[in-house]
Amino acid sequence: MVFVLTELFLAGSDTTANTLEWALLLMMVYPEIQARCYEEIRLTQNGTEKLRYEDRHRMPYTMAVIYEIQRFKVIVPLSVPHGTVKDVSFHGYIIPKGTRVYFDLYSVHRDESQWKFPHEFNPHNFLNDNEEFVKPDAFMPFSAGPRVCMGESLAHMEIFLFFTTLLKHYEFFWPEKHIKPDLTERFGITQSPIPYRVGIRHRDV
């Protein structure tokens, strides 16, 4: 129990923070997407009313943006190592018991057969023709299989509440007028953005 709780706090804090770092950077790069999210948040809310996780059902575009951030910039592109507990036959190949297995989540999130816009940041990867939020089966930033990340539901809630609360109260803009935003990944245990500056304006909510 101690080990599980420690993992939730340590691993969950780093991945959630990296997701929000990418979120702010992408909102500065795509101000029109940020503006549409803010408008949806504003219309869903009643002024000073606090955002709740249940509000996500009335924010299809914002939900699509949050999921697209996680698809476009996979925080843990190779997931965490798994292992076979017995010999496994997979597409004609035998994977022996005890083999270490990695999921290439990056390639899944760029699969041209699964996504409408696999190589660009576009929330419509998660919207149908009626502008309703949909989650394709190929979306798996929290890994796959029976040992998917145990903190997935917690992460969804945290990211939604942090992201929408930040956009509700602040406008984020790119302050470096003569420097182009850099979306290059900085690789490590997790995939984070190169450090960047943020311009912030307080909104009159």
Q: How far apart are CA 15 and CA 11, in angstroms?
A: 6
199-202 and 170-173: which strand pairing?
A: antiparallel
Q: How far apart are CA 147 and CA 82, in angstroms?
A: 8
Pick the CATH number of 2-77+105-202 from 3.30.1360.120, 3.40.50.720, 1.10.630.10, 1.10.150.120: 1.10.630.10
Q: What is the pLDDT of residue 109?
A: 95
Q: What is the pLDDT of residue 172?
A: 97
The strand pairing partners of 88, in sequence order, are 95
Residue appearing with tokens 């790119």: 174
Query: Token digits for 193?
Result: 């953005």
Q: What is the pLDDT of residue 82?
A: 83
Q: Are the C-beta atoms of residues 163 and 11 closer than 8 Å to each other? A: no
Q: What is the pLDDT of residue 65?
A: 98
In three-state form (DSSP H/G/I as H, E/B as E, the rest C), the secondary structure along 118-151 is: CCCCCHHHHECCCCCECCCCCCCCCCCCCCCCCC
Residue appearing with tokens 């299809």: 60
pTM metric for this prediction: 0.89
* Cα torsion through 81, 85, 86, 92, rounded to 10: -20
Q: Domain spans of the chain?
A: 2-77+105-202
How would you write the pLDDT of the chain (205 residues) with one tens digit per residue?
887 777 666 666 778 899 999 999 999 999 999 999 999 999 987 666 789 999 999 999 999 999 999 999 998 888 878 889 999 998 999 999 999 988 888 999 999 999 999 999 999 999 999 999 999 999 998 887 777 777 788 889 999 999 999 999 999 999 988 788 999 988 877 889 999 999 999 997 6
Query: Token digits for 191?
Result: 């995939």
Burial class (CB in 10 A: 0-12, 13-18, 19+), 100: exposed
Q: How far apart are CA 163 and CA 112, in angstroms?
A: 28
Q: DSSP secondary structure string, 15-73?
A: HHHHHHHHHHHHHHH-HHHHHHHHHHHHHHS-TTPPP-GGGGGG-HHHHHHHHHHHHHS
Nearest CA to 200 among 163, 173, 179?
A: 173
Burial class (CB in 10 A: 0-12, 13-18, 19+), 178: exposed
